[in-house]
């Protein structure tokens, strides 16, 4: 056999890194997100200055501001993923088909909310004033907030925490550490809503760890998103009963 006839095997392509993003991407997303938050706050400040009624009561701005921030979260992901990796947002962050029955996920999310409520009683969680009290002053704002709390908010929180942060930390430190550290971050970022009461941060962290475990087991954020929405729904029902229940 002549040397030129020897077929050289092509070297095997290295396996694709999962996830494909790195800490530079994390820094870029966070930088863009902080800039977006600053822009939204600036616009709200200008509106409050221009409309005296909003200066006295900025509540009408809170829900629109939250919707705009969710939009900016997507834009930040789109910009970084598109121009650095030419990848789509949802599929990259784990929006993949599942085999779990959605009804099971809804029931599981509700059961988790009830379990967290029992735990909150056991650890003597204090009653604190929350921004939610201001956002839900009127029936209309309560209705809008309720829809967001069981749909848009769970979706974007799962995209950001379990879709983006957790896989990166899991690749670096291992799956268990990635789930736990993301859950602690999730709880810590919710703490300001509840006057930094550690009981609330702990409860939210436990819920985040469950969502993270489900994400790690299924390799999809869809189950956690459904559970998260159902989890929030239980507390929305409780809020409705508190405001408009028979005792009122």
Higher pLDDT, 53 or 119: 119
In this predicted structure, what is the pLDDT of residue 189? 92
The answer as to whether 54 is a domain residue is: yes
In this predicted structure, what is the pLDDT of residue 13? 55
* Domain match, 23 and 119 both: no
Range of the domain at 217: 96-248
If one counts the domains in the chain, the total is 2
Higher pLDDT, 241 or 88: 88
Q: Which of 70, 92, 114 is the last residue of a domain?
A: 92
Q: Which of 42, 69, 92 is the last residue of a domain?
A: 92
The answer as to whether 211 is a domain residue is: yes
Query: Which phi and psi angles does 239 have, rounded to 5°?
Result: -65, -40
* Domain match, 140 and 208 both: yes
> Of the ranges 7-11, 41-45, 98-102, 163-167, which is most confident?
163-167
* Domain match, 125 and 245 both: yes
* Domain match, 30 and 101 both: no
The answer as to whether 12 is a domain residue is: no
Residues 6+ apart with CB under 8 A from 137: 59
The answer as to whether 11 is a domain residue is: no
Tokens 């029955």 locate to 101
């Amino acid at each position: 056999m002549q040397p030129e006839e020897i077929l050289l095997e092509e070297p095997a392509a290295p396996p694709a890194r999962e996830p494909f993003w790195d800490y530079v991407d994390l820094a870029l997303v966070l930088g863009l997100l902080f800039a977006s938050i600053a822009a939204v706050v600036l616009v709200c400040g200008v509106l409050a200055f221009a409309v005296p009624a909003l200066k006295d009561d900025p509540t009408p701005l809170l829900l629109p501001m939250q919707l705009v921030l969710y939009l900016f979260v997507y834009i930040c992901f789109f910009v970084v993923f598109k121009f650095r990796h030419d990848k789509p947002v949802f599929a990259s962050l784990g929006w993949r088909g599942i085999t779990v029955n959605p009804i099971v996920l809804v029931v599981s999310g509700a059961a988790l909310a009830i379990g967290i409520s029992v735990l909150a009683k056991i650890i003597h969680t204090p009653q604190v004033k929350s921004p939610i009290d201001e956002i839900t002053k009127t029936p209309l704002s309560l209705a809008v907030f309720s829809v967001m709390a069981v749909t848009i908010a769970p979706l974007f929180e799962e995209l950001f925490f379990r879709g983006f942060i957790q896989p990166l930390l899991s690749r670096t430190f291992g799956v268990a550490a990635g789930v736990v550290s993301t859950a602690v971050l999730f709880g810590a970022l919710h703490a300001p809503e509840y006057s930094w009461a550690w009981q609330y941060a702990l409860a939210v962290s436990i819920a985040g760890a469950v969502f993270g475990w489900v994400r790690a087991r299924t390799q999809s954020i869809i189950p956690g998103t459904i559970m998260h929405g159902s989890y929030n729904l239980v507390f929305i029902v409780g809020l409705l009963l508190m405001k408009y229940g028979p005792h009122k």
